[in-house]
Amino acid sequence: MIERLRPAPWAVLAAALLASGCMSLAPRHERPAPPVAERFAGDVEVPAGGPVASELAWQDFFGDERLRRLIGIALANNRDLRIAVLNIEQARAVHQIRRADEWPTVGAGVSASRQPNTNRSVGGITSLYTVGLAVTAYELDFFGRVRSLSDAALAQYLATEEARKTAQMSLVASVATGYLNLLADDALLDVTRRALATREESLKLTKLKFDHGAASEIDFRQAESLVESARVALAQQTRQRALDQNALVLLLGQPLPADLPPGLPAADQRLAAELPAGLPSEVLIRRPDVRAAEQQLIAANANIGAARAAFFPRISLTGSVGTASSELDGLFKSGSLAWSVAPQALLPIFDAGRNRANLEVAQVNRKIAVVQYERAIQSAFREVSDALAGRATLGEQLRAQQAQTRAEEARFRLADLRYRNGVASYLDVLDAQRALFASQQALVQTQALQAQNLVTLYRVLGGGWGP
């Protein structure tokens, strides 16, 4: 009879493993319909057939070797990106813990006990020594509670991975934008220095005329004021460049290396401008932030399943198999096999509404996750629409700004020539100098804005998270 009962612990354990996880009470995941239009706003004359941003590596998008080097440094050293990577490792470990809960924990146990014999007629001490394997409080997951918690942890892990991709996309775009800001600062400093040199030369001429009575003091003071205003602008631009460089250093996580390769000017960055937008339904599912929001929704569904399973009996199994003997030297002798199986079922009857409240919390969290997912889609839609609007208009704005600058340059030459020949007043020269300087500054800023908008378009279309 004893021989027939020996396989019982293994049969019970196998049956428990087969039955575990056979049911899930989590709602079925259905992706909410995107609350946006069918086409992007500002999607005018979008080129087709170009590379998809999400499949275009940042090394191929940026043509400036100096910028590519800076992005590589930032990806290796940036602390925010390191935090995102560590969050992934943490979420992976949590998922492994939840996944391990689906399997029994088997340990080796050794125990010894001595107690008085309950049979007074016999008397003496009763001893029991056991050695074997034990499974303690393994939950038989008939209603999917443990599996739901594991699914929630998996979705959280996948969400952190998508968050890491989003962080990398933002870092790549931020480094590129910071680099373009530095290029614009350098161009503005060059424009300001040239304007200062021109105004200093004009001041010398006006001073000479004033000394000889050919110009009034007001002309001289206006020329002097114009020189000082250029010096003010030069100091401001110098300070702004230092601030922009500090911001770039923070993104890099280290000082700017001294061995950087030569860079390209802001007007010739060789960016892959021909990026097709496509349909919102295609673009949005490629964005890591939208995918992360969907994973959070999946996790919320799984938590509802775990909360629902708490209303049902929780069945756990404790068992052991090994050898037992009243004497130490008899532990491994024939006939010393011993085993025990102790299942337990706990059905909640009164918990002061705790399980109901936990379910309500899980359901509300799912509603929040749905709203956050919809908000992520709407934000992504707006970002892409803004970038497309910039691409559709900045090119024409730049062409018009270039034409205006050429016209102001010609106007200044004519005004200066007329003033030198005594045909026009210095007010004409003063107005032409101011207009030319403002137009040159606007041209530099528009060139930088166009390049930065292309970087933004690349990011919002899902580019920049690859290796």
Query: What is the Cα–Cα distance from 157 to 151, expressed in whole angstroms?
Result: 10
Is the pLDDT at 439 greater than 90, yes or no? yes
Mean pLDDT over residues 282-303, rounded?
Answer: 91
- Residue 285 makes CB contacts below 8 A (sequence gap 6+) with 291
- H-run or E-run covering 221: helix 217-252
Higher pLDDT, residue 390 or 329:
390
SS3 of 327, please? coil
Q: Residue 414: pLDDT above 80?
A: yes
pLDDT (mean) for 196-204: 90
Please, which pLDDT band fits residue 10 given cuts at 50, 70 and 90? very low
- Model pLDDT, residue 8: 46
The C-alpha torsion from 219 through 224 and 226 to 227, rounded to 10°, is 150
Give percent above pLDDT 90 in the chain.
Answer: 42
Average per-residue pLDDT for the chain: 85
Residue with tokens 């056979």: 22
Q: Which carries the bigger pLDDT value, residue 21 or residue 118?
A: 118
199: which 2 tokens?
Answer: 């105004």
Residue in the structure block whose two tokens are 């005018």: 44
* Max intra-chain CA distance, the chain: 139
Q: Please list, in sequence order, all residues whose beta carbon lies within 8 angstroms of the beta carbon of residue 243, skipping any fewer than 6 positions away.
A: none
What gap in Å lies between CA 346 and CA 143, rounded to an integer? 13
The one-letter code for the residue type at 181 is N
Q: Which residue has the higher pLDDT, 126 or 379?
A: 379
pLDDT at 36 over 80: yes
What secondary structure letter does DSSP report for 352? T
Q: What is the pLDDT of residues 309-324, one digit of tens each?
A: 888 888 888 878 878 7
Which residues share a beta bridge with 319? 135, 341
Is the CB of residue 340 less than 8 Å from the CB of residue 6? Answer: no
Average pLDDT over residues 51-78: 90
Residue 48, SS3? coil
Mean predicted confidence (pLDDT) in 380-403? 92
Residue 369 CA: distances (Å) to CA of 213, 284, 290, 380:
79, 17, 12, 16
In the numeric block, the tokens 């043509």 are attached to: 63
pLDDT band, very low/low/confident/very high, at 43 (cuts 50, 70, 90) = low
Residue 48's pLDDT band (cuts 50, 70, 90): low
Token pair belonging to 300: 């919320």
Q: What does the alpha-carbon distance between residue 21 and residue 142 come to, in Å, rounded to a whole number? A: 6
Q: Region 36-53: what's the mean pLDDT?
A: 69
At residue 96, the pLDDT reads 86
Please state the rounded mean pLDDT for residues 170-177: 94
Provide the 8-state DSSP code for 326.
S
**More confident: 50 or 116:** 116
pLDDT of residue 335: 66
What average pLDDT score do residues 347-355 get? 86
Q: First CA to last CA across the chain, in angstroms?
A: 65
Query: Which of 123-127, 150-154, 245-249 bottoms out in mean pLDDT, i.e. has the lowest?
Result: 123-127
- Vertex 286: Cα angle to 299 and 170 (nearest 5): 90
